[in-house]
Amino acid sequence: MPRTDYDELWEKQSNGSMNLVKRTSRIVSDEEIEKEQHSERLRVLITRPVANLTPAEKDDLLEFLVERTRRG
């Protein structure tokens, strides 16, 4: 189910309060949501030492690397 995704830019004021400077929205499809979540997960996995990954995380990372190799 598509959702509305909001990007907000906040600015801290001198008195400590926050002021919303800019807000944009976009409709995001299920495929885009899944791709963004998958990409973010892989970014996290790539930055961690392999010894600290769970077996499932190692499988995800290996799948990503194999797919990237196939694409060239």
Residue 72 has a pLDDT of 62
Write the CB contacts of 9 (distance below 8 Å, at least 6 apart in sequence): 20, 21, 22, 23
pTM for this predicted structure: 0.40
The answer to whether residue 20 scores a pLDDT higher than 70 is: yes
pLDDT digits (tens, 9 = 90+) for 21-42: 999 998 988 888 777 777 777 7
Mean pLDDT of 63-72: 78
